[in-house]
Chains A and B, each alone.
Chain A
């Protein structure tokens, strides 16, 4: 009823504070995509910019048939899935460990979230040069020490970045993203009502029963949310690939954002890069519509 009594000017006045933010967001996020869509239908390489012409959908055909793009797609899926799932599992484990009262809990939490705060480029450089370096890295140092302890005497020089490029990217990313998953799941655990858990314990429910019948169902939406948000952030990031392997060796560790970046600023094929961008946007829209359906409740909760 209250809504009806508002006059039209009243409504307009109440919408006013929204406009600056809304208009700026529309301009800065929607117009670029329209331009991308237009560029994607042109053959446009800035080195041969005189040959620029309208081609309908041939860029999409080129992108779809490009073996490098396909390798990048598979790597993107593998890397994102691995990083998201492993950091969610670690995050769940750590959240359960932290959801107890013990001495130094806040220090432990502070230590655990720090990897997430380190500038990603900095942490990628540190993993590459200080941990994974085959000559001076601590990983090689550790392995050599263990090897020596068992009587080995030649130098190992383990080169993870060349031999296992995807693993060398995934490990630092998992290190970075586990705290994020942990924080969301921990927030879920701490939003449980302790009275209900206590009542169930008094009624004779065991630890495992409490977890599987009460805690886990309550946590489910938080785990879903951490998986979905993690996927969005992780699939878009190319800091680690850019810094650690630059997609190599060959195309072994290239991913979609990095490949689009190369098409744009190394091959200067603007049309193809835009077409790849459009494809990524459509995949993202499809996936996020699906994802939003799962997380609608928690995102729009009006408590």
Chain B
């Protein structure tokens, strides 16, 4: 008996160490980049690393001196702007499809889902031509609208999966009291829907901040987002490891923080609300 539990203890702590080892190995590239980003350029390319090399914030301050701010701002406008518009459109739509679903709500949902299956590359040329025709190529608001269409279907699905859990009696009671749809949405349901809205917002933010295909093709100098800047940065500057590391961290940080704070909601958004 004693022996068995001892063996069990060892296999358990063995598994725990294995888990820790794998997760540290997974994180290692990020740790390495973080390390390099605080180095001077001449110490960045050495292996094994000079652990005691000079520690400096120079790379980070030069990220902003070299004008990354404009691109970070563009990214912020496109991702926060599109997220807000998506919520305004998706919340009422999800309501119509969830608590007291309308006739044929399943078909509407399937339609929304099917748009996610269509490859954006096939829509790129017409979108480019339309924007060109409207003289809004290289316009951050045009990109914002494209991000709305990219995230809207996903958000309808995700919000619906949250709203579905609200008991329909609540809505029925409110409408018996004569509440309009608007009152129900923004007064009665809003407080309960807040966690759902927040996690949908985070997912939309992550997807639009990291988006690259549309951004590189419909923006130029003025409306370029942070990922577009990153690619151009390498070709324009040659190779500066320490600087590249710092820029990459600055660009990724908003999403990393958003994702860390919404870990449990991440999977729900990515799976279109299917997995809780």
B215 to chain A, nearest CB (A): 9
User: Contact at A115–B30, with CB atoms within 8 Å?
Assistant: yes
A201 contacts chain B at the CB level, 8 A cutoff: no
Neighbouring A residues of B115 by C-beta, 8 Å:
25, 29
B47 contacts chain A at the CB level, 8 A cutoff: yes
Interface size range on A against B: 35 or more
B223 contacts chain A at the CB level, 8 A cutoff: no
User: Contact at B274–A136, with CB atoms within 8 Å?
Assistant: no
Given A180-B270, A191-B276, A281 and B18 contact (CB-CB distance below 8 Å): no
A225 to B266, CA, bound (A): 15
B241 contacts chain A at the CB level, 8 A cutoff: yes
User: Contact at B276–A111, with CB atoms within 8 Å?
Assistant: no
| Interface residue ranges of B91-143 to A (CB < 8 Å) | 92-93, 95-97, 100, 102-103, 106, 108-130
Partner of B125, one of A36, A94, A257, A298: A36
A150 contacts chain B at the CB level, 8 A cutoff: no
A87 to chain B, nearest CB (A): 12
User: Contact at B22–A141, with CB atoms within 8 Å?
Assistant: no
Given A18-B102, A97-B19, A298-B274, A119 and B93 contact (CB-CB distance below 8 Å): no
Q: Which of B185, B241, B271 has the most CB of A within 10 A?
A: B271
Which residue on chain A has the smallest CB distance to residue B275? A187
B239 contacts chain A at the CB level, 8 A cutoff: yes
A138 to chain B, nearest CB (A): 6
A199 contacts chain B at the CB level, 8 A cutoff: no
Q: Which of B18, B44, B245 has the most CB of A within 10 A?
A: B245
Given A25-B149, A117-B256, A109 and B263 contact (CB-CB distance below 8 Å): yes
B221 contacts chain A at the CB level, 8 A cutoff: no
A178 to B26, CA, bound (A): 10
Neighbouring A residues of B217 by C-beta, 8 Å:
261, 265
B15 contacts chain A at the CB level, 8 A cutoff: yes
Neighbouring A residues of B209 by C-beta, 8 Å:
119
Which residue on chain B has the smallest CB distance to residue A100? B15
A178 to B116, CA, bound (A): 21
Neighbouring A residues of B212 by C-beta, 8 Å:
120-121, 239, 242
User: Contact at A94–B22, with CB atoms within 8 Å?
Assistant: yes
Contact stretch, chosen from A8-16, A58-66, A158-166, A208-216: A8-16
Given A111-B27, A129-B239, A138-B32, A25 and B153 contact (CB-CB distance below 8 Å): yes
Q: Which of B47, B217, B247, B276 has the most CB of A within 10 A?
A: B47
Which residue on chain B has the smallest CB distance to residue A182? B267
User: Contact at B260–A117, with CB atoms within 8 Å?
Assistant: yes
User: Contact at B18–A97, with CB atoms within 8 Å?
Assistant: yes
A281 to B126, CA, bound (A): 14
Contact with B along A28-65 (1 / 0, CB 8 A): 11011101100100000000000000000000000000
| Interface residue ranges of A139-158 to B (CB < 8 Å) | 140-142, 144-145
A78 contacts chain B at the CB level, 8 A cutoff: no
B251 contacts chain A at the CB level, 8 A cutoff: yes
B152 contacts chain A at the CB level, 8 A cutoff: yes
User: Contact at B251–A264, with CB atoms within 8 Å?
Assistant: no
B224 contacts chain A at the CB level, 8 A cutoff: no
Partner of B29, one of A33, A127, A243, A292: A127
B231 contacts chain A at the CB level, 8 A cutoff: yes
A110 to B275, CA, bound (A): 19
A193 to chain B, nearest CB (A): 14
Partner of A18, one of B16, B36, B93: B93
User: Contact at B89–A229, with CB atoms within 8 Å?
Assistant: no
User: Contact at B245–A130, with CB atoms within 8 Å?
Assistant: yes
A292 to B12, CA, bound (A): 39
Contact with B along A259-275 (1 / 0, CB 8 A): 01100110000100110
Neighbouring B residues of A102 by C-beta, 8 Å:
12, 15-16, 19
B130 to chain A, nearest CB (A): 8
Which residue on chain B has the smallest CB distance to residue A229? B271
A206 to chain B, nearest CB (A): 13
A175 to B32, CA, bound (A): 15
A237 to B26, CA, bound (A): 22
Given A32-B127, A129-B234, A281 and B102 contact (CB-CB distance below 8 Å): no
Q: Which are the 5 A-B pairs with shortest beta-carbon distances? A: A141-B47, A17-B92, A277-B122, A28-B149, A136-B45
Chain B positions within 8 Å of A, measured between CB atoms, are 12, 15-16, 18-20, 22-24, 26-27, 29-30, 32-33, 36, 44-48, 89-90, 92-93, 95-97, 100, 102-103, 106, 108-130, 145-146, 148-149, 152-153, 156, 164, 181, 185, 206, 209-210, 212-213, 216-217, 226-227, 230-231, 234, 239, 241, 244-245, 247-248, 251-252, 255-256, 258-260, 263, 266-267, 270-272, 274-276
15 residue pairs A–B, Cβ–Cβ below 8 Å: A17-B93, A32-B122, A39-B126, A112-B27, A114-B30, A114-B256, A118-B252, A129-B241, A175-B26, A183-B270, A222-B275, A236-B119, A284-B119, A292-B113, A299-B274
